[in-house]
Structure 1
Amino acid sequence: MSALGGWTRDLSMGVRFAFGGGREGWTRTLFTGIGVGLGVALLLITTALPSALAVRYERDDARSTTRAPSAAQPGPDTLLISAANQTYRGRDIGGAYLKAEGPDAPVPPGLTKIPGPGEMAVSPALRRLLDSPEGTLLRERLDWPVSEVIGDAGLVGPGELLFYAGNDSLHQTGPEHYRVQRITGFGAGEEPEPLDPVLMLLVVLTFVALLLPVAVFIAAAVRFGGERRDLRLAAIRLVGADTRTVRRIAAGEALGGSLVGLALGVGFFAAGRALVGSVTLRQRGVFPADLDPSLWLALLVALVVPAAAVAVTLFALRGVVVEPLGLVRRTVPRRRRIWWRLLLPLGGLGLLVPLTGGGEGEDFNQWQVSAGVALLLVGITALLPWLLERLVALMSGSGPLSWQLAVRRLQVSGGPAVRLVNGIAVAVAGAIALQMLFASVEDDYTVHTGHDPSRAALSVLLPPADWDRGEEFAARIAGAQGVAAATPLATVYADRRPDTGDKVKITVGTCEALREVAVLDSCEDGDAFVLTGTADKDSGVYGSPAKPGDTLSINPFTDTPKERQSVEWTVPVAAATVASREDPTGALRDGILATPSLAPKGVADAGSAQVFVELDESVPDAMERARTAVFKADPLSRTMTLKSTRRDSDYAAIRTGLFFGATAVLILIAASLLVSQLEQLRERKRLLSSLVAFGTKRSTLSLSVLWQTALPVGLGLALATVVGVGLGSVLMRMASRPVRIDWASVAAMTGAGAGVVALVTALSLPALLRMMRPDGLRTE
């Protein structure tokens, strides 16, 4: 028989044993299948992520108006649209006002018709929020009747908050109405901008760090029930099979378990896919239909998992001698060698260290980084058995009986305990490195806006308006509940006479309002000031070309240049020079300050108004009440929340993706650890029952099992901390950042790993107590 035929025969026999070996066989196969299936499900989700992200971008691009086709004049196919984005309790709500100018006006994706005046279409998530008790204040703001629910085609995710409202007052007659677009269709047709090298490094590291624990758990799952399996192999040797044959049969059993795992993994993936639409994290999520795995990646998973099961089994049997009358696991095992175990982390460092010499912003070889990180993290699984062997070899027989039982068990067979810890150690090391890198680059993607929220919580920009319009608007919202003060400032731009081509900014406001932008020793209505544009009034540098006594010309915007009628205004000769002061948005103004009695008249279309809103923090939900007051006073106003910092959107999206992935991996870790723990307890059921039958206390055995878990976990987490900090330091140097270790984050990641193990151990205690009954000695 050819070699291929022999392999096929033996593997198929092993598969038959996996499914036909009685309760013992199929129980082991089921445990293996569940462990492998959980990993396969997560791998399938990972293969589906690229397509899900691509579909999200396509949907977002399909409704974009940034570069949508436009028209200069109304027509049968034109639509007026204006942004109406909102914020509610920290959640962003996308919105737009619509007005059809003709019967063929384009309809936004996800809608069957354009909402009529006083109507709105909402996303399913927004409708749920509006119908819930939490949305009470939001209903006061968005109080239009709902005419339609936006379909999936118009949303980037199931948790998106979005509305379209019909507004018959929209108009666009001149350049002053720049906030209103006239379009003939939706869709920008833009390609996404590539990520910068540091963000790409974060993406690559996130995928590697999250997927490696999955691979480790799959490798551990195919070895479930190894001790019982080896005893069955001895019986096969008794009927004439040679060593190579029984190893191939064992590989066939693992192959059968992996095939069950593939089937269960597809089932887990299908179940998770059906539920994913109801799960949103930080307003982000995906539709079930978007999780469509790439065909070639899915085929790769289907081929690699069974092949890995066979390879891992053959590798595990290298130190086991199966004889016809039993098996020998080298009762005095040869000491594990360290040299080849060090090659993995050293090889990883050898790939990564050369990349640390590049300058900031330089591209890097993604495959080299992936391989280097993978070798470093996989090195944990090679070093941990050696470290555990050395540690338990140094331990004496002193101590409580439970401690002695645990140490002796680890001295005789520490492999199962190490396999239990390997995955969590790799996950913790990757998490520490990720956290270090994210923390080191966070400042680069966090913009310090210069805003001063202590002076104003909101900055409201009004459509082209003069001082009277801004004052009226401020008065309306100042009396709203939750608003402590509303300070209006109007701004117009003028040309100097004779025309020099320079624009002069004229800011109009009360003395109280002007003190928000200038340092004024004294001020009364009728005063005017010249701003230096700096914080020093004695610098002698004017912030604009205008000086006291100069004549300025203000040109209101109108439909055509012929209809423009300039308004001349003279800077008062008595205008004093004053230093500028940063306003609540952090801007230093220049130009001229004027009190209301001196404000230029008849320039409503040439000016704009800005209102700074200060909140009354003693009022519950003051921010939302103020937003509602602003929205009711002028729906077309633009409200900006003043924050001292703002995070880059790409960076925030990557962190959110990491949060998604870490959550999924954490669930996998917990489930896989529980399955592994239960499988190990099942294998030791007869031993535990024997000890109880001979009078050993159950509490002693329970503590012994806990010690057997705690020792490898403590050692594994210590090793993970060292490797994670080392990897994080190298990655920080690759990103051209100084090495800084946030020990609080390191402790948090390590504690999270220990917490998962503690939870799984607690969940396995009921099964442990059941297996310590004397009737566990029964056999068939």
Structure 2
Amino acid sequence: MSLRQYARDLGMGARFAVTGGREGWVRTALTAVGVGMGVALLLLTTALPGVVSARHAVENARTDYMFTPHPLPRGDDTLLLAATDTWWRAKPVRGRLLEPEGPKAPTPPGVGRFPAEGEMLVSPELGRLLASGDAKLLRERLPYRITGTIGAKGLLGPRELVYYAGTEGLKPGTPGARVERLRSFGDPHPEPEHTDPVLLMITLVSFVVLLMPVAVFIAAAVRFGGERRDRRLAALRLVGADSRTTRRIAAGEALTGSLIGLAVGAGLFLAGRQLAGSVTVMGESFYPAYLDPSPLLVLLVALAVPACAVLVTLLAMRGVVVEPLGVVRTAVPARRRLWWRLLLPVAGLALLYPMVGQGRSNGDFNQYLVVAGVLLLLVGVTSLLPWLVERAVARLDPGALSWQLAVRRLQLSSGTAARTVNGVAVAVAGAIALQMLFAGVQSAYVRDSGKDPARAQLEIDLSDHAQVGPAAAAVARTEGVRTSVGLATASLGAKPRDADVSFGFVMGDCAALRELAHLPSCRDGDTFALIDPESDPTYDPYRDALLRPGHTAYIDPSYADIRGLAVPITVPEHLRRVTSRKDPLMPSATGLLVTPAAFPKAAEPALLGQVFVRTDPAVPNAQEYVRNTAARVDPVSDIMAVRPTETSSRYASLRTGTLIGASCVLMLIGASLLVSQLEQLRERRRLLSALVAFGTRRRTLGLSVLWQSALPITLGLLLAAVVGVTLGAVLLRMSAAKVTVVWSDVLALTGVGAGVVLAVTLLTLPPLLRMTRPDGLRTE
């Protein structure tokens, strides 16, 4: 067979796709839409590494904290900068106070000139927010005149809230003040970031899990209208075409639909790219320019999708005998075999097994084995589901008329039903595995902060210990505040320099100290030794030696890389020991508790001031009022919401990215299922009209459509749960984590999959009613 003959047959298939009348156009359009949605998501996925890289580059370029052993001297090229980050309800606001010390001081990325004192530059989104009537409290917190906007080079996304304000009088080096002296922005010598093997494995698994349903939907989309196409090919056999020619013509039709789908997908991606700047997903926004796919990956998608279309069509044609007088599809259907279908998941487990128990301490995971193993396990779902549906529906008993119609349809075309829900099953299996993996390794990246949000909802770190009393009093008078507690802390060592062990030192009035420990009695001038019953017993001898009556300890001891004050303090002869509360405001407090009269004045510069705030939940904006008060008392104070846990930023970013990707895949699942269901109804329009003409009620047909969706999806979700739990258990064993199954999460994820199918099925009922009208029997 010559290449010319191949090209001629493929070209004939292409002409059938675009000039085959209304039926051919509709089939091609459905294929193009299905493939296009998959291609758009593939292009979005190939662009994600570029988004991460672009955001990381911006974040690195505007880095303004330097870990240097010695502070920079003042010069004409230095800048004083204070971090004044805050929150507006649930949105973070990045803020900086700028004070240039010379004409050559560096400007932040996206800033053309320094704002003068009392002025500020804002991001476009913050400017819109401040101009709105809803942000009155935030406007009070930022009492600066807006004189310009920050450029895109200094923002992570168009929806980010950022401001730079001009000020004077910043003092670097003050304990508690977040003030830096800079000569440039960005880290000039960034160290290579250590890659956590477990997080890298989660990243690989996430990409496979998110992309696999897309591939399944593309493979299903190229088979839209297969029954009508095969009947049309039978007419070609009647005029002399052989079976190989018909396969090549069918491949040409599929190839044309996939190429049009590529164009549709590119258009959808470009349209979505332009809209990216106007939406926020999981609190994150992106500039359209960030969504720039790698040319190599785009070329791979452009080649893989048409190749997949042709391959899937040729494989599907192997099970169909196209004869001159008709299509033999179900005369003597061959029973699907199980043995080779089981080989795929078994091979996937075999690839993953050598990495069981490796964890994060035995080097990186083999990326190729991880991808191949997970891929084979998920492909196993698509291979096992047709066999499972075929065997299950073959044993179903007759029942109501709607049930009989659904069961008979499934018995005649169980493969079509399985293809419809394959993508959902794969997505649910992958989601279950990822959920188990995230939950299993969470303890390594989410640690207990020891803080109780019921005791205090906000914590204010002040730049000056002398402001503790005034700040606590001002906050106590703020609307929506029930209690405010002011405390000041420092470190206490046994030696003035290079102390082997250091303990805490807390100063506060008696009411404040009672928030930390059980005090029998207290008056100004008292000192207490704080004993935590749950502390590490290995530190007890050091603590007892340090707090020995009459012994001299040192507040703020010096170290080789930190210059301290090393102010001596004598431990009182009659030191009373008190035990920590079970719910202290400062869980890390140890050592001495001191009232103000017993504290040496010389050590005051070493103190760090904190105010703990309990708010009234009945006041909606209580936390905003507190932030405004703290900003007035101390503009560079750091206000944090008290949370019971602290999460690794990289782990949180990966989890957020996975959720965003899963949301996109879920939308694709719903849209593709809707297109698939409509295509099936279109194929059966004449049959449905005939059933109505013979007296079948439309309600019965609607119920039969629901049953046809419910049975395969139930089987698919059961299979997905088994495969997902198995994959999740293997991934946890690879991570050296304890294998636990949260069945409520498994049920929730399977419920989401079932809900998507149910919603799509309900959306197809109105078209079903239109297609069952008598004019559906008309033919030409």
Q: Same fold (TM over 0.5)?
A: yes
What is residue 375 of structure 2 aligned with on the other side? Answer: 374
What one-letter code is carried by the residue in structure 2 that aligns with 1:777? L
- Map 1:280-319 to 2 at 5 A: 280-319=280-319
Q: Which digits, 9 at most, give the CA deviation of each residue in 1:153-206, with x for residues without a partner? A: 11112232222221212133x665873211121111425624312212211111
CA distance in 1, matches of 2:495, 2:721: 71
What is residue 642 of structure 1 aligned with on the other side? Answer: 642
CA distance in 1, matches of 2:164, 2:603: 33
What one-letter code is carried by the residue in structure 2 that aligns with 1:765? L
Question: Does residue 48 of structure 2 align to residue 36 of structure 1?
Answer: no
- Map 1:392-471 to 2 at 5 A: 392-396=393-397, 398-466=398-466, 469-471=467-469
**Distance verdict in 2 for CA 1:693–1:623, change over 3 Å:** same
Segment of structure 1 superposing worse, 341-350 or 598-607: 598-607
Question: Does residue 5 of structure 2 align to residue 6 of structure 1?
Answer: yes
Segment of structure 1 superposing worse, 252-261 or 109-118: 109-118
Segment of structure 1 superposing worse, 723-732 or 26-35: 723-732
**Distance verdict in 2 for CA 1:76–1:328, change over 3 Å:** same
What is residue 125 of structure 1 aligned with on the other side? Answer: 125
Segment of structure 1 superposing worse, 650-659 or 362-371: 362-371
What is residue 546 of structure 2 aligned with on the other side? Answer: 545
SS at match of 1:44: helix
What one-letter code is carried by the residue in structure 2 that aligns with 1:365? N
CA distance in 2, matches of 1:551, 1:411: 89
CA distance in 2, matches of 1:500, 1:722: 58
What is residue 590 of structure 2 aligned with on the other side? Answer: 589
**Distance verdict in 2 for CA 1:496–1:710, change over 3 Å:** closer
CA distance in 1, matches of 2:555, 2:402: 90
Deviation at 1:463, TM superposition (A): 2.5
What is residue 689 of structure 1 aligned with on the other side? Answer: 689
1:478 to 470, 476, 479: 476
**Distance verdict in 2 for CA 1:378–1:769, change over 3 Å:** same
8 Å contact 2:175–2:607 — kept in the other structure? no
Deviation at 1:389, TM superposition (A): 1.5
CA distance in 2, matches of 1:319, 1:495: 81
Question: Does residue 610 of structure 2 align to residue 607 of structure 1?
Answer: no
Q: CA RMSD in A?
A: 2.9
**Distance verdict in 2 for CA 1:506–1:222, change over 3 Å:** closer
Deviation at 1:583, TM superposition (A): 4.2
Deviation at 1:366, TM superposition (A): 1.6
8 Å contact 2:417–2:712 — kept in the other structure? yes
Residue ranges of structure 2 left out of the alignment (5+ in a row): none
Q: Which digits, 9 at most, give the CA deviation of each residue in 1:625-680, with x for residues without a partner? A: 22221121111223333221111111111111111111111111111111111111
CA distance in 2, matches of 1:309, 1:714: 28
CA distance in 1, matches of 2:745, 2:504: 49
Deviation at 1:29, TM superposition (A): 0.6
CA distance in 2, matches of 1:484, 1:712: 57
What one-letter code is carried by the residue in structure 2 that aligns with 1:753? G
**Distance verdict in 2 for CA 1:162–1:767, change over 3 Å:** same
What is residue 168 of structure 2 aligned with on the other side? Answer: 168
SS at match of 2:51: helix
What is residue 61 of structure 1 aligned with on the other side? Answer: 60
Deviation at 1:712, TM superposition (A): 1.3
What is residue 324 of structure 2 aligned with on the other side? Answer: 324
SS at match of 1:319: coil
TM-score, scaled to structure 1:
0.92
Question: Does residue 45 of structure 2 align to residue 22 of structure 1?
Answer: no
Deviation at 1:482, TM superposition (A): 2.1
CA distance in 2, matches of 1:299, 1:729: 36
**Distance verdict in 2 for CA 1:470–1:764, change over 3 Å:** same
CA distance in 2, matches of 1:718, 1:82: 56
CA distance in 2, matches of 1:390, 1:22: 38
Deviation at 1:79, TM superposition (A): 0.9
What is residue 221 of structure 1 aligned with on the other side? Answer: 221
Q: Which digits, 9 at most, give the CA deviation of each residue in 1:60-102, with x for residues without a partner? A: 0000023499973332221100111113323322221111112
Count of aligned residue pairs for this structure pair: 770
Deviation at 1:342, TM superposition (A): 1.4
Segment of structure 1 superposing worse, 518-527 or 27-36: 518-527
8 Å contact 1:555–1:606 — kept in the other structure? yes
What is residue 262 of structure 2 aligned with on the other side? Answer: 262
What one-letter code is carried by the residue in structure 2 that aligns with 1:347? A
**Distance verdict in 2 for CA 1:736–1:756, change over 3 Å:** same
2:486 to 479, 485, 488: 488
Deviation at 1:554, TM superposition (A): 7.2
Q: Which digits, 9 at most, give the CA deviation of each residue in 1:303-353, with x for residues without a partner? A: 111111111000001011111222211412111111211111111122122
Segment of structure 1 superposing worse, 227-236 or 731-740: 731-740
What one-letter code is carried by the residue in structure 1 that aligns with 2:513? L
- Map 1:642-661 to 2 at 5 A: 642-661=642-661
8 Å contact 1:59–1:155 — kept in the other structure? yes
What is residue 113 of structure 2 aligned with on the other side? Answer: 113
Residue ranges of structure 1 left out of the alignment (5+ in a row): none
8 Å contact 1:464–1:606 — kept in the other structure? no
What one-letter code is carried by the residue in structure 1 that aligns with 2:204? V
CA distance in 1, matches of 2:71, 2:176: 14
Deviation at 1:685, TM superposition (A): 1.3
Segment of structure 1 superposing worse, 273-282 or 753-762: 273-282
**Distance verdict in 2 for CA 1:323–1:116, change over 3 Å:** same
8 Å contact 1:532–1:541 — kept in the other structure? no
CA distance in 1, matches of 2:90, 2:3: 63
What one-letter code is carried by the residue in structure 2 that aligns with 1:366? Q
CA distance in 1, matches of 2:21, 2:102: 75
- Map 1:521-532 to 2 at 5 A: 521-531=520-530
8 Å contact 2:436–2:728 — kept in the other structure? yes
SS at match of 2:113: coil
8 Å contact 1:196–1:361 — kept in the other structure? no
What one-letter code is carried by the residue in structure 2 that aligns with 1:21? G
- Map 1:110-259 to 2 at 5 A: 110-172=110-172, 179-189=178-188, 190=190, 193-259=193-259
CA distance in 1, matches of 2:90, 2:221: 43
CA distance in 1, matches of 2:338, 2:504: 74
Deviation at 1:124, TM superposition (A): 2.6
CA distance in 2, matches of 1:628, 1:779: 74
8 Å contact 1:110–1:155 — kept in the other structure? yes
SS at match of 1:415: helix
Segment of structure 1 superposing worse, 360-369 or 31-40: 360-369
Q: Which digits, 9 at most, give the CA deviation of each residue in 1:196-252, with x for residues without a partner? A: 122122111111111111000000000011011011111111121111011000000
What is residue 75 of structure 1 aligned with on the other side? Answer: 75
**Distance verdict in 2 for CA 1:361–1:4, change over 3 Å:** farther
**Distance verdict in 2 for CA 1:687–1:650, change over 3 Å:** same
What one-letter code is carried by the residue in structure 2 that aligns with 1:372? G
CA distance in 1, matches of 2:717, 2:317: 27
**Distance verdict in 2 for CA 1:10–1:78, change over 3 Å:** same
% identity of equivalent residues: 55
SS at match of 1:439: helix
CA distance in 2, matches of 1:634, 1:547: 38
**Distance verdict in 2 for CA 1:274–1:568, change over 3 Å:** closer
Segment of structure 1 superposing worse, 313-322 or 348-357: 348-357
- Map 1:730-769 to 2 at 5 A: 730-769=730-769
Q: Which digits, 9 at most, give the CA deviation of each residue in 1:678-712, with x for residues without a partner? A: 11111111111222223322222222222222221
What one-letter code is carried by the residue in structure 1 that aligns with 2:44? I
